[in-house]
Amino acid sequence: MRPHFFTRLAVLSLFIASLSCYTRFGRTEEPGESVIYPKGIDPSLITPGQPAWIFIASIPPVAEVYMDSTFVGKTNIQKIKVTSGRHSIKIVKGDKSFKVNMVFKEGDNASELFELR
């Protein structure tokens, strides 16, 4: 077996285990961009700037996470502290990256898994 298989298996296991602690996000397409909203939450009721947390997993693991161009943590290690509201999230590892707009609610948010390309 290839070593990447075990890395992906470990990341997937962590991601699935963390799902029981969080609510799921819904993905919504807006013209020209993809935005991830908290499922079951009306985005207009979210108060921006409040403390929020999210666990982000990535393939490859331990990538850097930037919120609005500011480093906020690394994937696959622990929950990352963010603020509620809409933010641009960029995940980078070497020459691979992924960028998405996300809306966070106050408190714990759903885990997300991203494959960097």
> For 1-40, how does the pLDDT look when each residue is reduced to its tens digit (9 = 90+)?
555 666 666 666 655 544 433 333 444 444 456 678 877 7
- The whole-model pTM stands at 0.70
pLDDT tens, residue by residue, 75-115:
999 999 999 999 999 999 999 999 999 999 999 998 999 99
| Residue (of 66, 78, 117) closest to 94 by Cα position | 117
What structural domains does the chain harbor?
3-115 (2.60.40)
pLDDT value of position 24: 38
Alpha carbon distances (Å) from 45 to 48, 50, 55, 89, 114: 9, 12, 22, 21, 27
Distance CA 24, CA 105 (A): 12
